[in-house]
């Protein structure tokens, strides 16, 4: 049942907790882990800023990949994507990769503290067709 | 990290899936499982209907307890409660029992299909201070 886990990361504190939870879950369940970073497509910024955001995303992914490899002692997949809607991309990837559990932080890096649930966690938990873990 | 799991059941199809997920999770994580049934307090119905609802609740719990024991091969705790607000009771129990992961179905027994997320899953996922798994 729990054999392929996707965790969405964005460098935020909550995503870090989501990552730690997903690692623990994958380890205990003997499941494989896919770490996904989705950057919001920012049409309004120039080439150099977009390039910098890409490097940021790669750095976040590399950090998590090496940490996950240490914990799970196995190969860990990472993916990076750019999308207008981060939640939609998470759901699309989960479908495509045949994921059985999606793990997300309750609030992303740019999401206001006034909301109990960030928009990505909100959308993913509402529209997913498979189990979703929301981590705080 | 995943050592004490609470699953909320109400006899619905989604709660059944949540229960199966929680069992699998508990088994793989070597965690303990608490099965909770919360009935809504119905002040407007008479003694006999309330009695019947209580029997229903007990029956649901017993069914799940024996199934969980079979899967986990260990003692499984069950709890039943009555409350005005089911989600609040789930959260209160999770606090009191020091639960680290709450598992709920996406929609309860009396919750309309027009909503993507039932009110209990919605409230629990918004207000919990610990990881919540929403199962469909």
**Predicted TM-score (pTM) of this structure:** 0.93
Angle formed by the axes of helices B13-29 and A13-29, to 10°? 80
Query: For the segment B16-73, what is each residue's pLDDT rounded down to a tens digit?
Result: 999 999 999 999 999 999 999 998 877 777 777 777 777 788 999 999 999 999 999 9
**Total Cβ atoms within 10 A of residue B22:** 27
Q: What is the pLDDT of residue A41?
A: 79
Query: For the segment A69-98, what is each residue's pLDDT rounded down to a tens digit?
Result: 999 999 999 999 999 999 999 999 999 999
Return the ∠ at Cα A129 (arms to A106 and A100), rounded to 5°. 80
As a whole number, mean pLDDT of residues A27-54 equals 86
Of A117, A127, A130, the CB nearest to B125: A117
User: Is a pLDDT exceeding 90 seen at residue A1?
Assistant: no
Residue A126 contacts residue A98 (beta carbons within 8 Å): no
- CA nearest to B17 within chain A: A131
On chain A, the residues whose CB falls within 8 A of the CB of B135 are: 131
Q: What is the pLDDT of residue A19?
A: 97
Domains of chain A and any CATH numbers: 4-135 (3.40.50.620)
Strand partners, B39: B82
As a whole number, mean pLDDT of residues B72-77 equals 95
User: Is a pLDDT exceeding 90 seen at residue A44?
Assistant: no
As a whole number, mean pLDDT of residues A98-111 equals 91
On chain B, the residues whose CB falls within 8 A of the CB of A101 are: 133
Q: How far is CA B43 from CA B39, B111, B112, B120, in A?
A: 12, 19, 22, 20
User: Is a pLDDT exceeding 90 seen at residue A9?
Assistant: yes
């Amino acid at each position: 049942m729990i054999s392929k886990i996707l965790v969405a990361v964005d460098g935020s504190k909550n995503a870090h907790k989501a990552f730690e939870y997903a690692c623990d879950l994958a380890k205990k369940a003997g499941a494989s882990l896919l770490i996904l970073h989705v950057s919001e497509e920012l049409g309004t910024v120039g080439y150099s800023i977009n390039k910098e955001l890409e490097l940021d995303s790669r750095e976040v992914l590399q950090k998590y990949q090496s940490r996950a490899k240490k914990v799970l002692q196995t190969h860990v997949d990472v993916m990076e994507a750019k999308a207008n809607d981060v939640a939609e991309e998470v759901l699309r990837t989960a479908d495509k990769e045949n994921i059985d559990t999606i793990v997300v932080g309750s609030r992303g890096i740019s999401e206001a503290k006034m909301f109990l649930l960030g928009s990505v966690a909100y959308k993913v938990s509402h529209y997913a067709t498979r189990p979703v873990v929301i981590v705080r």
